[in-house]
Amino acid sequence: MIVRVPDIPSEGLSVTDAAALGSVYRDPTWRLEALRLRLERDGVDVFVTGEVRAAVTQACGRCLEPSPVEVTAAMDVRLVPRPATADSVELAPDDLDVDFYERGEIDISVLVETETTLALPMKPLCREGCLGLCPVCGGNRNLTHCTCQQRPPDPRLAALKDLAARLPR
């Protein structure tokens, strides 16, 4: 959804219709559920504030089961026109909450995608207190009650686990 900056009225613009944004996410596992955004103009600067709620399916950080994750992102972004000069790199905003817009247009969909993706927890859990996988047999402890826990940990497995923890995911 493109909003032209000159079309933003002086009293501001509200965007609350999630359907109006069309397909926001390139990743089809994401789904936009609701949004409540205010666009306000101050000269050429545009402030976007509000809240976006989205859902995505992620592997649980403990048991690896695909789990729905709700993401609520608070939006508080200032958009400024991208400088046209060659030394624009020098003018890159150091503030994380400042972004550029180009050709007098703001793509709300891109903004929503960026902000909600950033708000995704690093290690989502399928539920509070997920029991995770058994380190011995690999069974999902939420589903099966194996008796492995009683056994002393195998030092070779501990070494493997240690290695696995250090590998990039």
- Residues interacting with Zn ion, by CB under 5 A? 60, 62-63, 126, 130, 134, 136-137, 139, 146, 148
In the 8-state DSSP scheme, what is residue 150?
G
Phi/psi region, residue 133 (left: phi>0; alpha: psi -120 to 50; beta: rest), is beta
Q: Specify the residue, 4 or 127, whose C-beta has the smaller distance to Zn ion.
A: 127
Is 120 or 136 the residue whose CB approaches Zn ion more closely? Answer: 136
Compute the least distance from the CB of residue 152 to Zn ion, in Å.
13
- Please check whether residue 4 is in contact with residue 105, taking contact to mean a CB–CB distance below 8 angstroms: yes
Taking the complex as a whole, the smallest distance from the CB of residue 162 to Zn ion amounts, in Å, to: 19
Residues 24, 32: contact at Cβ < 8 Å?
yes
Of 2 and 137, the one with the shorter C-beta distance to Zn ion is 137
As measured in angstroms, the least distance from the Cβ of 30 to Zn ion is 20
In the block, tokens 């609350």 appear at 16
